[in-house]
Amino acid sequence: MSGNGAAPEWGAGRPVDAAGGISLFRRLWRAGRLLPDGAASGPVHPVLRLYVRWVRRPLLPAMRLWRRNIQLRVVATTLLMSVGVVLLLGLVVIGQVRNGLLEAKRHASQSQAEGGFKAARDFADGADNRGQDASQSGVRGMDSGTWLTTLVQQLSSGGQGVYHVVALSADSGGASAVGARGPRASGDIDPEHSIPADLRKQLNSRTGALERSATVKHSASDEGEPALVVGKRLYDNNNKAYQLYYLFPYTQEEKSLTLVKTTLATAGVFVVVLLGAIAWLVVRQIVTPVRMAAGISERLAAGVLQERMKVTGEDDIARLGEAFNKMAQNLQVKIQQLEQLSRMQRRFVSDVSHELRTPLTTVRMAAEVIHEARDDFDPVTARSAELLFGQVDRFESLLSDLLEISRFDAGAAALEAEPIDLRDVVNRVVDGALPLAERKGSKLLVRGDEQPVIAESDARRVERVLRNLVVNAVEHGEGRDVVIRLAAAGGAVAVAVRDYGVGLKPGEATRVFNRFWRADPARARTTGGTGLGLSIAVEDARLHGGWLQAWGEPGGGSQFRLTLPSTAGDTLRGSPIPLEPDDSRRNRGLNEAGVPLGVSGRGGGVPAQPGPQGPLPVPVPAQTRSTPPSVDPTALPGSGARVVARPGGAAPYDKGGVDATDRDLADKGAADEAGAGPGREGQARGR
């Protein structure tokens, strides 16, 4: 990054705009076409995106195989580690061999050169020795050029192909000399380009032998070969200084080192392949039983309980297989026992229910006769006749519910779906619940019935669900209004029943659909409820592929929502009506006591006063919700029910108060479900 914050400078070699001198890559960078989607400079360039896709496409199968195959990962990791170890060992061995060869070469070269230097000195001093023959006595009168030529020939005669000899004038200063003081060399060696200049300068000022690695040049070729150069300054027969060099090529050492490299590479390949095969065999012995166990586990989960692992040997894998088979055997026995017990229970309930019908019919006929003649009895007996008649009705309803539950448990419930208008079903339910509502002082209000609400469903089952919800809302509404809302959107229809009674406490929304559960055990069932109504309603909703969900807040009422697919067999993705109504305390910015959150600490707020038409609106300043409300931890996924235990913040207040329920929330509900609803609906689907 440059100091002014610009993009880093890129190197040469990229396309350059001839007019402006700016590379194509830099212009694309500045235009923001090379950055990923969502970056500040813009989207990815289409060409770059296509290139990335083209590169990744053939790699996707390999990446998928790498993630799913543990044997491949272990073998590949073993191979990579083996290659690294072999390379490291090879480098160490080659380094040691190279150092050994160079050291041996240096010692041999020094010994050979020292013998040559001694022979040269003896050859120069031979003319002064007494008693020598005529040929030796004539050496001293020989000129320097002839003497050097003769010396080089004699010294190189015994080292053909092993070393070369070069003689240079000591006062040549590196320049070419001609005549008698010119350089002498054996073979086709280029003396001036083969001897380093710095070595020649050092020999002019020193008397001992020096050595240096250099590249030997040949006259017939421009290519050189590495060699060890050993030189020393000596004196010829005329006491003139000259420099004598021995050049020892590394040819033989290079051949030896190449042979070692080839041998190590071949051995390394065989070792890596052998280690890979060993790793594959070892891992296969471990992975095969694991894969077998995984496949058998999948089949056990699919209901094939007789699957078992094949056990061979007595090692750890065999013990694992035996333990797995024992576990599968125990699970099979337990599941069979539970299935048998469940069948016995269902059969018992069904048989008892059927067997009770005959005596119940007799008891009912007798109760009707006694009830019709109660005017002739004394007050106590007449009251007993009325109680007997009512309890017989309740007992008959309980018996019918038990039979229906037994059908659901046995999987014998059948859905007779046909296109129906839910408005007709709601109207029939309202007409049937009007007498109870009048006795309780409640009004039944229907909203959203302006447009047809068509769905393929079983009219009898849907009517039973809605009748149960409306009757419960009237019974627990404490004389306040009950609002029934209809909506259709997004391939789904929904009916919500809202009451403003006692509501639901934290944790009750998860138990409200349990069999024989009552919100208040002390409350009398004035309408003859059996405690199985909501359980049957949930089963009816599931049979349609729909949801039955509950919401409530203590003292703020509750809302039960039935959501069904418009077409039988479709999958629900949302509901047209939000589960939490708009007039909840949280949405109106109130706390549990009905006091506005902005003034709850100062005592200046007035709680909402319940009236015959429901809770009246209380004008409060609009609040901004800062944190989401806390959800009761006992509201586990299942029915999709939720209880608002304690609001964590306030939402803007709807000045319409309870009149907001008069609006058609179909469009708003669809928007809410598309936004914040999927998480909540996911819990409903998990029940």
Reported as a single tens digit per residue, the pLDDT across 315-330 is 888 888 888 889 988 9
Name the architecture of domain 103-257: 2-Layer Sandwich (3.30)
Helix (H) or strand (E) holding 561: strand 558-565
Amino acid identity for residue 372 in this structure: E
User: 2 or 549: whose pLDDT is higher?
Assistant: 549
Residue 252, CA distances (Å) to 93, 102, 162, 255, 448 in order:
18, 11, 9, 5, 101
pLDDT at 19: 42
- pLDDT higher than 80, residue 398: no
Q: How high is the pLDDT of residue 88?
A: 93
What phi, psi does 241 have (nearest 5°)? -75, 140
Q: What's the confidence (pLDDT) of residue 303?
A: 82
pLDDT at residue 444, rounded to an integer: 92
- pLDDT confidence of residue 670: 35
- Assess whether pLDDT exceeds 50 at residue 633: no
Residue 174, strand partner residues: none
Least confident of 212-216, 316-320, 417-421, 595-599: 595-599
The pLDDT, as a whole number, for residue 673 is 35
Strands 614-615 and 630-631: unpaired
Strands 547-552 and 558-565, bridge-based pairing:
antiparallel
Region 594-610: mean pLDDT is: 47
From 579, 551, 385, 367, select the one nearest 494 (Cα to Cα): 579
CA dist 123 and 422 (Å) reads: 129
Q: What does the pLDDT read at residue 36?
A: 43
Can you say how many angstroms the Cα of residue 61 is from the centroid of all Cα atoms in its chain?
17
Q: What is the pTM of this model?
A: 0.46
Residue 340 has pLDDT above 70, yes or no: yes
Instruction: Look at the domain 419-601+608-685 and name its fold.
Output: Heat Shock Protein 90 (3.30.565)
The pLDDT of residue 560? 92
* pLDDT surpasses 80 at 594: no
Pick the closest to residue 191 from 158, 157, 146, 156 (CA basis).
156
In this predicted structure, the answer to whether residue 244 has a pLDDT above a threshold of 60 is yes
Residue 494, pLDDT above cutoff 70: yes
Residues in Cβ contact with 116 at an 8 Å cutoff, skipping those fewer than 6 apart: 155, 165, 244, 246
Q: In this structure, is the dihedral angle defined by the CA atoms of residues 385, 389, 390 and 396, taken in order, positive or negative?
A: positive
**pLDDT given for residue 522 in this prediction:** 53
Q: What is the pLDDT of residue 168?
A: 86
Higher model confidence: residue 152 or residue 175? Answer: 152
**Residue 189: which of 209, 212, 161, 170 has the closest Cα?**
161
Mean of pLDDT values over 381-388: 86
Q: Which helix or strand (DSSP H or E) is residue 299 part of?
A: helix 251-301
Beta-carbon contacts of 162 under 8 Å, excluding residues fewer than 6 positions away, are: 248
Of the candidate ranges 305-314, 416-425, 508-517, the one whose mean pLDDT is the lowest:
508-517
Instruction: Convert the pLDDT of each residue in 153-164 to its tens digit.
Output: 888 887 777 888
Among 1-15, 532-546, 600-614, name the most confident range.
Answer: 532-546
Give the best-scoring range by mean pLDDT among 52-56, 185-189, 434-438.
434-438
pLDDT score for 90:
92
With 0-12 / 13-18 / 19 or more C-beta atoms within 10 angstroms meaning exposed / middle / buried, residue 248 is buried
Task: Quick: pLDDT tens for 82-133.
Answer: 999 999 999 999 999 999 999 998 999 888 888 888 888 888 876 444 444 4
Share of the chain above pLDDT 70, in %: 72
- Write out the CATH class of domain 308-413: mainly alpha
Determine the Cα–Cα distance for residues 584 and 474; give it in Å rounded to an integer.
18
Give the whole-angstrom CA distance, residue 546 versus residue 572.
Answer: 7
- Residues 255-267 have a mean pLDDT of 92
Return the pLDDT at 430. Answer: 92
In this predicted structure, the answer to whether residue 136 has a pLDDT above a threshold of 60 is no
Nearest residue to 461 via CA among 576, 368, 540: 540
Identity at 201, one-letter amino acid code: K
Is residue 33 pLDDT above 70, yes or no?
no
Contact between 435 and 470 under an 8 Å Cβ cutoff? The reply is no
What pLDDT score was predicted for residue 160? 73
Q: How far apart are the first and last CA of the chain?
A: 56
Q: Residue 660 — pLDDT band, cuts 50, 70, 90? A: very low
**Mean pLDDT for all residues in the chain:** 74
**pLDDT computed for residue 678 by the predictor:** 33
Cβ atoms of 496 and 607 closer than 8 Å: no
Report how far residue 139's alpha carbon sits from residue 643's, in angstroms, rounded to the nearest whole number: 123
Select the more confidently predicted residue: 644 or 367: 367
Q: Is 668 helix (H, G, I), strand (E, B) or coil?
A: helix
Q: What is the dihedral of CA 345, 349, 355, 358, to 10 degrees?
A: 180
Give yes or no for a contact between 73 and 287, defined as CB atoms under 8 angstroms apart.
Answer: no
Q: At residue 249, does pLDDT exceed 80?
A: yes
How big, in percent rounded to 5, are the helix, strand and coil portions of the chain? 50, 15, 35
- Select, from the ranges 394-403, 412-421, 425-434, the one with the highest average predicted confidence (pLDDT): 425-434
Residues 6+ apart with CB under 8 A from 391: none
Query: Between 522 and 405, where is the model more confident?
Result: 405
Which residues, 6+ apart, have CB-to-CB distance to 154 below 8 Å?
A: 119, 123
- List the one residue out of 584, 581, 583 whose CA is nearest residue 496: 581
Look at residue 6 and tell me whether its pLDDT is greater than 80.
Answer: no
**Model confidence at 139: pLDDT above 80:** no
The identity of residue 101, as a single letter, is L
- 114: closest CA among 79, 147, 163? 163
DSSP-H helix ranges across 501-638: 533-543, 585-588
The 8 Å CB, 24+ separation contacts for 216-219 are: 216/164, 216/189, 216/247, 216/249, 217/189, 217/190, 217/193, 218/188, 218/189, 218/190, 219/188, 219/189, 219/190
Most confident of 157-166, 348-357, 364-373, 397-406: 364-373
User: How far apart (Å, rounded) are the C-alpha atoms in residues 620 and 247?
Assistant: 106
Q: Is the pLDDT of residue 668 over 50?
A: no
Question: Can you give the pLDDT at residue 43?
Answer: 56
Q: Calculate the CA dihedral of residues 668, 671, 675, 679 and round it to 10 degrees.
A: 80
Q: Where are the domains of the chain?
A: 1-57, 103-257, 308-413, 419-601+608-685
CA 2 from chain centre, in angstroms, equals: 37
> Which range has the top average pLDDT, 168-177, 246-255, 601-610?
246-255
Instruction: Name the range with the highest mean pLDDT among 217-221, 265-269, 312-316, 600-604.
Output: 265-269
Question: Per-residue confidence at 300, pLDDT binned at 50, 70, 90?
Answer: confident
Contacts of residue 260, defined as CB under 8 A and 6 or more positions apart, other chains included, come to 93, 94, 97
Cβ-contact 444, 437 below 8 angstroms: yes
pLDDT tens column, 522-534: 555 554 466 777 8
Tens of pLDDT, residue by residue over 166-177, are 888 876 444 444
Given pLDDT bands bounded at 50, 70 and 90, which one contains residue 270?
Answer: very high
